Structures are given as C-alpha cells and as structure tokens.
Amino acid sequence: MSETGHETVLLAGTVTLLAPRDGATYIDGTFGAGGLTAALLSAASCRVIAIDRDPSAIAGGAGLAARYPGRLTLVEGCFGAMAEIAGAREVAGVALDLGVSSMQIDQPERGFSFRFDGPLDMRMGNDGPDAGELVNTLPEQALADLIHQLGEERHARRVARAIVAARPLRRTLELASAIRKVVPQAGGIDPATRTFQALRIAVNDELGELDRALLAAERLLAPGGRLAVIAFHSLEDRRVKNFLGQRAGAPAVSRHRPAAPHAAPSFRLLTRRAVQAGPDEVARNPRARSARLRAAERTTAPIWEQAA
C-alpha cells in the first residue's frame, strides 16, 4: 500500500521477480503513488530511479525521497526515454506498471473516467493534444480506425458516426452519453469503456512508449538484470509477450509472421505464463483482476539491433 492509500497491483510478485539487492540500481518506469519504489527501497539497500510523466506524481514522491536520502532519484519524463535518463549506468532491474493509475482515474479534472464529469483531457503529462482535440477534429473514418485498433471496439464505426454527429464534445459525460446511445451494454462492461481506452492510449502514445521502453530495458540491463512488466489489457500484454518471447528465442507466435533472424537470446524468461492476482488480492483491489505480470532476465548476449 502506498502512502496515498493506493495499492500497487501484484506488488509482492513483482518485488520477488526483481530480487532487489544491496548496492544495485533499479528503474521504476511508472512511479505513480510510489508503492513499488517504496517496496524496492525497503527490500534492499539499493538505489531507485523513479520516472513518471505526471508532474503531480513526482511532486508526491518528495516524502519518500526524504525517507531514503541519496537512494531515490525522481524524474519527470517518459519511461520510453529511460536510457537517456539513466545515462551510461547499467541497472539491475526495470519495472513497468502500464496504463493509467487509479489516482489519475479518480481525479475528474484529468478526464480519464466516464464515471465523473470532467474535461476531455486524458493526458498523463501536460503536453501534446488532448482527447478533446482528437474527438472533435479527426475525420470519421480515422476516428473509427483508432477506436477499433486501440480499443478493440467492434462497434467502432457506429461510435465514430455518433461522435461526429454530436460534435463539439467537451466533457467526459457528454462523450460517454453519445457512446451509450449506440453501443449495447454487454457483460457488465460500460459501453464507453473501450472508446475511452482507445482515446487515452492514442493521446499518450502508450504503445509507442512501451515499445521504446522494452528496447531501452534491453540496452540498460546488466547481465542477470531483470525486467518486470504489468499490463492491464491485451494490446499491451501481447506486445510484452511477443517481445520477451522473441528475445528469449521462442518460436514466432503466429505462422503468418516471418521468422525472426537468428540471434543469441538477450533474455531468459522468468515467467512462462503471465502471473495473475489471486482471489484475495482481487477482492481487495478489483483493478488487479485484469493485471498480467511477465518477467525476464537479461543474458550476456548483445542487444538485438532490429526493431521489436
């Protein structure tokens, strides 16, 4: 449990897989409320470089930094740039807890949730176009493609048509209402869920950031260093699974994909299957239900030069 009362999903499993040790340096690429960073600092006399693109998260970490003087470095930035942030330093572990944090969801002014009325923002940082700009300026077909690809919404065309007809849309509840009129309720999931997910991923370039972070971790980790990634939806988890499987020398997951060029495995899988939360954790923290944790250990092989 973090100082803010927010529970870090799969915390114990992540710390166990990272196996923190004295004198080593770790990167927490998604600092959030600081739960994982605090657990690493208390588990060993190690150093942590904690990154978050949300300035409020970094500001909130001041107390933790004071508790562990000289051992915690807080950096406002994107985890895809962790190689530049860490410099020439080799690290013993990298952790990524992907997606939006519960703190951000619970702040209506951030515009992440369809449960509260707020501006259509959804930016994890303070820069770049917000969700309102995408909703109100994208052509209908481009909007449908975005919702289908990043939200895996099978009613994407219907949703895009409804959004264009209802423009301009400035508030989260306005957008959610337009979606609910054309998407049927199914399986207890709010009809607006997938569209909001798609817009958030697009606004923050979350998949691009993940790809850059995986490549950066491969470059930064010392031999024996470990990478642990928690994903909350299939788009992220599939990317992590494919990257680690490829780098560990596993066969291509699809017969339609070309065979990867031969290279010495740069990772050894620590989790053959994704680790999931147990019933007790899900009961305490319903967000844990969709979490998938994957981890791998860096080998002595050179980094792969080709894109993931």
CATH number at residue 224: 3.40.50.150
> What pLDDT was estimated at residue 308?
42
> Are 142 and 285 found together in one domain?
no
Span of 97-106, 210-219, 292-301 with lowest mean pLDDT: 97-106
How far is residue 248's CA from residue 80's CA, in Å, rounded to a whole number? Answer: 21
Residue 108 inside a domain? The answer is: no
> What pLDDT was estimated at residue 130?
96
Query: Is the pLDDT confidence value at 78 over 90?
Result: yes
Residue 143 inside a domain? The answer is: yes
Domain end call among 171, 204, 237: 204
Count of domains in the chain? Answer: 2
Query: Is the pLDDT confidence value at 179 over 70?
Result: yes
Query: What would the mean pLDDT of 172-198 be, rounded to a whole number?
Result: 95
pLDDT tens digits for range 118-165: 999 999 988 889 999 999 999 999 999 999 999 999 999 999 999 999
Query: Is the pLDDT confidence value at 5 over 70?
Result: no
Beta strands in 10-162 (DSSP E): 25-28, 47-52, 72-76, 91-97
The enclosing domain of 181 has a CATH number of 1.10.150.170
Q: Please, which pLDDT band fits residue 307 given cuts at 50, 70 and 90?
A: very low
More confident residue, 286 or 178: 178
- pTM value? 0.91
Strand (E) or helix (H) holding 297 = strand 292-298
CB 301 within 8 A of CB 274: no
More confident residue, 176 or 101: 176
How far is residue 296's CA from residue 240's CA, in Å, rounded to a whole number? Answer: 10
N-term to C-term CA, the chain: 34
> What pLDDT was estimated at residue 6?
67
- Write out the residue range of the structural domain in which residue 119 sits: 113-204
> Are 57 and 177 found together in one domain?
no
More confident residue, 263 or 214: 214
Q: What are the contacts of 235-240 at 24+ separation with CB within 8 A?
A: 235/150, 235/152, 235/201, 235/207, 236/98, 236/99, 236/206, 236/207, 236/210, 237/274, 237/292, 237/294, 239/207, 239/210, 239/211, 239/214, 239/308, 240/210, 240/214, 240/294
> What pLDDT was estimated at residue 301?
97
> Are 232 and 85 found together in one domain?
yes
Q: Please, which pLDDT band fits residue 105 given cuts at 50, 70 and 90?
A: confident
> What pLDDT was estimated at residue 254?
54
> Are 31 and 177 found together in one domain?
no
Domain end call among 188, 204, 220: 204
> Are 173 and 232 found together in one domain?
no
> Are 139 and 75 found together in one domain?
no
> Are 99 and 248 found together in one domain?
yes
Of 64, 2, 69, the C-alpha closest to 36 is 2
> Are 96 and 47 found together in one domain?
yes
> Are 257 and 117 found together in one domain?
no
How far is residue 243's CA from residue 229's CA, in Å, rounded to a whole number? Answer: 12
Query: What would the mean pLDDT of 32-55 be, rounded to a whole number?
Result: 97
How far is residue 63's CA from residue 3's CA, in Å, rounded to a whole number? Answer: 9
> Are 26 and 149 found together in one domain?
no
> Are 91 and 35 found together in one domain?
yes
> What pLDDT was estimated at residue 186?
85
Query: Is the pLDDT confidence value at 106 over 80?
Result: no
Residue 305 inside a domain? The answer is: no
> Are 197 and 217 found together in one domain?
no
More confident residue, 5 or 206: 206
Residue 281 inside a domain? The answer is: yes
Query: What would the mean pLDDT of 239-264 be, rounded to a whole number?
Result: 76
